[in-house]
A = this chain, B = another copy of it.
Amino acid sequence: MNRGGGRTADHSWMLAMRFVLPLLAAAFVAMPATAQNSPAPSEPKAQDTAALSSLAWLEGCWKGTAGPREFREQWMPLQGAMMIGVSQTIEKGATQGYEFLRRAIAENDYRAKGLEVADDEVFVSDGSKCDCGNILDILGHDNRIAVTDPVYPVYVDTNVMAGHTGEGDENGRYEGLVYLECNAENGFVPALPSEPVDLIYLCYPNNPTGATATRAQLETWVAYALKHDAIILFDAAYEAYIQAADVPHSIYEIPGARKCAIEFRSFSKSGGFTGTRCAFTIVPHELLAKTTTGERKPLHPLWNRRFSTKFNGVSYITQRGAEALYSDAGKAQVAALVELYMGNAALLRAAATECGLAVYGGENAPYIWVRGPEGRTSWEMFDKILNEANVVITPGSGFGLCGEGYFRISAFNSRANVEEVARRFQALSW
């Protein structure tokens, strides 16, 4: 709104007020009692104004503290039979009552675990799939981009759509992308790239392989990013499924990551918000990116601007729902949901293992990644399992060349269905 120029510094307090006033004015209009009770305000009476004038001393800017809370009030002059003011209560740098979800996230998912994340580094969105794509809006078009193979297809497709790649080849690989191969030998965590890259997509716990990255592995990646001025786009949508005590839940558990990593998380997998759409992205203030002229600039204001200009937020109902996931009852329900799905994963792992197949994942992730018999393609296995067991799995080759010969089983189902699938798997002959 303030693009037209011509405003002076004096207006800065008014600018803030323009946004606050419509929300708070009703609560801070001081009126004489007679006027308050009248539904259609009438001409102010002399005695009303006189009664109110005993409060005229409030005019001006007031500031105070009460414990950790800071209050601010600004009262305009008594005008007719009305005094209008705005107030703000600030605690730990955030306006209370408006940023409840950002705060709940930063407090519960990060600060309670000793990780530094400020409330205003949390951006609440309608999905981490969306954010993974939208983040490209604030990054340049000439970055060298590394993705894993197998890969969550959105990372690749959004770059293709943004014109960041050349043509796709017959294996579905796009010219210009650096593919980091993940396989059983490297535990589905790739080696560092042999050529320099600027953007690195990492997803742990991984979709589709269910693999996790150790602290040491993530340290290697953070060190690489810091050394090469690269940015890690860390997708932690499945972190709630981590069972092992020593697997990092956040890239920010690695020292230095606040300087080189953006983290994506989702309520879809923890709280079942897949359909209601709620997720968040962390962009640390310290994260700088190099401009084409070689300057280093923070990404936080860019993402903030992108967010305000091209998005209008998540509905209040949905945000209050997400906040409730951090209540004691909410945490217990999330834990029960995760336990159910991880129990499913254990059953599916066991069933596939009993078939004599090599099985990965499913221990800290809701996905089981199965290597089929030698020489069978992913789609051949899809056909076999569909036709012989009437079960739908996801062919690994859909996630990339390195997924060929694998298939993914999802643990997101009812226990009864999973037990039935396990029974049918055991009846298959491979």
Measured CA separation A219–B3 after assembly (Å): 32
Partner of A11, one of B126, B317, B379, B400: B379
Contact with B along A386-421 (1 / 0, CB 8 A): 111110101101111101100000000000100110
| Cβ-defined contact, A133 with B398, below 8 A | no
Q: Does A170 contact B (CB under 8 A)?
A: yes
| Contact for A6 among B14, B154, B318, B379, CB less than 8 A | B379
CA distance A170 to B389 in the complex (A): 69
Least CB distance from A125 to B in Å reads 10
Cβ contact of A394, chosen from B1, B39, B157, cutoff 8 A: B1
Stretch from A48-56, A190-198, A302-310 at the B interface: A302-310
Contact indicator B404/A22 (Cβ below 8 Å)? no
Give bound CA distance, A21 to B82, whole Å. 63
Q: Is the CB of A275 within 8 A of B315?
A: yes
Write out, one digit per residue, whether chain A residues 312-336 have a CB within 8 A of any chain B CB (1) or not (0).
1111111000000000000000000
Partner of A161, one of B137, B156, B172, B317: B137
For the complex, is A7 an interface residue (Cβ under 8 Å from B)?
Answer: yes
- A276 lies within 8 A of B317 (CB): yes
Knowing A4-B403, A137-B162 are in contact, say whether A40-B309 is a contact too (CB < 8 A). Answer: no
- Distance of A305 from chain B, by nearest CB (Å): 7
* Least CB distance, A78 to chain B, in whole angstroms: 10
Give Cα distance in the complex from A85 to B216, angstroms. Answer: 48
- The reply to whether the CB of A311 lies closer than 8 angstroms to some CB of chain B is yes
Whether a CB of chain B sits under 8 angstroms from the CB of A5 is: yes
Contacts of A40 in B (CB 8 A): 416, 419
| A315-B276, A318-B315, A386-B14 known; A161+B305 contact, CB < 8 A | yes
Q: Are A3 and B312 in contact (CB under 8 A)?
A: no
B153 touches A3 (CB 8 A): yes
Q: Is A186 interfacial (CB 8 A cutoff)?
A: no
A88 within 8 A of B: no
Chain B residues closer than 8 Å to A403, beta-carbon distance: 4
Task: Encode A371-391 as 1/0 by CB contact (under 8 A) with B.
Answer: 000000111001100111110
Contact of A312 among B126, B137, B389 (CB under 8 A): B126
> Is A429 an interface residue, CB under 8 A from the partner?
no
A73 to chain B, nearest CB (A): 16
Whole-angstrom CA separation of A160 from B4 in the bound complex = 15
Residue from B6, B315, B316 in contact with A397 in the complex, judged by beta carbons closer than 8 Å: B6
Interchain CB contact (< 8 A) of A392 among B21, B309, B311: B21
Q: Quick check: is A277 within 8 A (CB to CB) of the other chain?
A: yes
CB-contact partner of A172 in B3, B18, B277, under 8 A: B3
Q: Per a CB cutoff under 8 Å, which of B2, B22, B156, B416 touches A3?
A: B156
Alpha-carbon gap, A161 to B303, bound state (A): 11
Give CA–CA (A215, B403) in the complex, Å.
56
**Interface: A199 (CB within 8 A):** no
A61 within 8 A of partner (CB): no
Measured in the bound complex, the distance between the Cα atoms of B14 and A39 in whole Å is 64
Please give the distance in Å from A231's CB to the nearest CB on chain B: 18
Residue A127 at the B interface, CB < 8 A?
yes
A135 to nearest B CB, angstroms?
A: 11
Closest to A388 in B: B79
Is B4 touching A395 in the complex (CB atoms < 8 A)?
Answer: yes
- Closest chain B CB from A52 CB (angstroms): 13
A sample of 25 inter-chain contacts (CB < 8 A) reads A1-B398, A1-B399, A3-B398, A4-B172, A4-B378, A4-B400, A4-B401, A5-B170, A6-B379, A6-B397, A6-B404, A14-B383, A17-B392, A18-B392, A41-B416, A41-B419, A41-B420, A41-B423, A79-B390, A126-B311, A129-B311, A130-B311, A158-B310, A275-B316, A276-B315
Known: A4-B400, A41-B419. 10 other contacts (CB 8 A): A3-B400, A14-B382, A14-B386, A21-B392, A79-B389, A129-B312, A130-B310, A154-B310, A276-B315, A276-B317
When A and B form their complex, which 10 residue pairs have the shortest distance between CB atoms, in order from nearest? Answer: A4-B397, A3-B172, A133-B310, A1-B398, A157-B309, A276-B315, A127-B312, A4-B172, A84-B390, A41-B420
